[in-house]
Amino acid sequence: IVVSEFEKRLLINNNISSQKIEIIPNGFDSLEYLNLPHKNQFKCKFNISKNEKIILYLGRINKMKGVDILVKSFSQIVKKHDNFRLVIVGPDEGFRFYLEKMIESYKLIDKVIFTGPLFNKKKLSVLVDADVLVYPSKYEIFGLVPFEALMCNTPVIVSTGTGCSELILASNSGISFEYGNTYQLTDKILELVDNKELSKLLVLNGKTYVNV
C-alpha cells in the first residue's frame, strides 16, 4: 500500500510489480476545519500588523524540506516589499541553526519568526492568518500540510516533482515552482498574494478535492 503515484513509481523502479501495489492516499478529519479560529489571532499573539502579509512554512525543519530555498526567496521579496513576514512553524531536526545564520546574513532577523511546533487551534490560527503557504520540499511522497492550508482558505505553492505536487496540480488547487529556483518561487508568491481571485479559485478546488 502506497499513498501516491510518486511512491508507486519508486517501488516499480525497485522491481516491485505494479499489480502488487495499491494507492490509498492519506486522509484527515475535514470536520476539524468547520469552525476555524477568527482571523488575526496569530498575528496579535506575535505582534504582526494586520496589514502585513504572512508567508508560511509548516513542517519539519530539515534540509530535505527546502526551507533554506524559501528563506532565499523571502530575502528577494523584502528588497521590494517591506510588508511581509516569514513564519516558520515546526520541530527542529538540526537545521534551524543553519537557517538562523542565513537569516542573520540577509539581515532578516526582525522579519522571520520561528514558533516551534503548533498543534490544534494554534496551528489552525497560523494557517488562517497566512497569505500563502509554501511547501518547498526536495522529496515528498505525499504531504498533508498543503491540504490543511487549503481547508483554512490559504493558497499554496509546492515544489514540482514530488507526490505532493502531483496531487495539488491534478486537483488544480495550487501552483508549483521548480525546486531550487528561488526567483521563480518569488514570482509565484507575489502572484498568489496579489491575485485574490486566483487564490480563491485554487482554495475552492482544493476543498472540493478533499471532500470528494
Per DSSP, the residues of 124-149 read HHHHHH-SEEEE--S--S--SHHHHH
> Which pLDDT belongs to residue 142?
67
Give tens-digit pLDDT for 42-64.
999 999 999 999 999 999 999 99
> Which pLDDT belongs to residue 31?
81
Contact (CB, 8 A) for 108 and 118: no
Whole-number Å distance between alpha carbons of 84 and 91: 23
Query: How does the average pLDDT of the chain come out, rounded?
Result: 92
On whether the pTM is more than 0.85, the answer is: yes
Whole-number Å distance between alpha carbons of 196 and 21: 40
For 29-78, list the strands marked E by DSSP.
53-58
Give tens-digit pLDDT for 184-203.
999 999 999 999 999 999 99
> Which pLDDT belongs to residue 28?
73
Strands 156-159 and 132-135, sheet pairing: parallel
112, 105, 146: which is closest to 127 by C-alpha? 146
pLDDT beyond 80 at 70: yes
- Distance between alpha carbon 74 and the CA centroid of its chain, in Å? 14
Give tens-digit pLDDT for 114-141.
999 999 999 999 999 999 999 998 877 6
